Amino acid sequence: MKISLNNNAENLAVESCTVSDLLKIKNFTFKMLIVKINGRLVKKEDFENSVISEGDDVIVLHLISGG
């Protein structure tokens, strides 16, 4: 499956996956993440049910605070 992940072309060895699956595949382990699929914000509680499909534009951002 071909998607855009953080503005980079990615070719995943699956036909479809959820946001949770993608985070595991790409080894995103940071606890505070923001995920958008095609510009739509995905709530953390929806990561297990939000499906990423061929051609989707996915953005994963790490939230970091400081002072």
* Three-point CA angle 61, 13, 59, nearest 5°: 15
In sequence order, what are the residues at sequence separation of 6 or more whose Cβ sits closer than 8 angstroms to the Cβ of residue 62?
A: 30, 32, 33
What pLDDT does residue 31 have? 87
Cβ atoms of residues 11 and 2 within 8 Å? yes
Q: How many CB atoms are closer than 10 A to CB 1? A: 15
pLDDT of residue 64: 83
2-62 maps to which CATH number?
Answer: 3.10.20.30
- Residue 67 half-sphere exposure toward CB, CA atoms < 13 A: 0
pLDDT score of 67: 65
For each of the chain's 67 residues, which pLDDT tens digit applies?
999 999 999 999 998 899 999 999 999 989 899 999 999 999 999 999 999 999 999 999 998 877 6
Q: Where are the domains of the chain?
A: 2-62
pTM for the model stands at 0.91
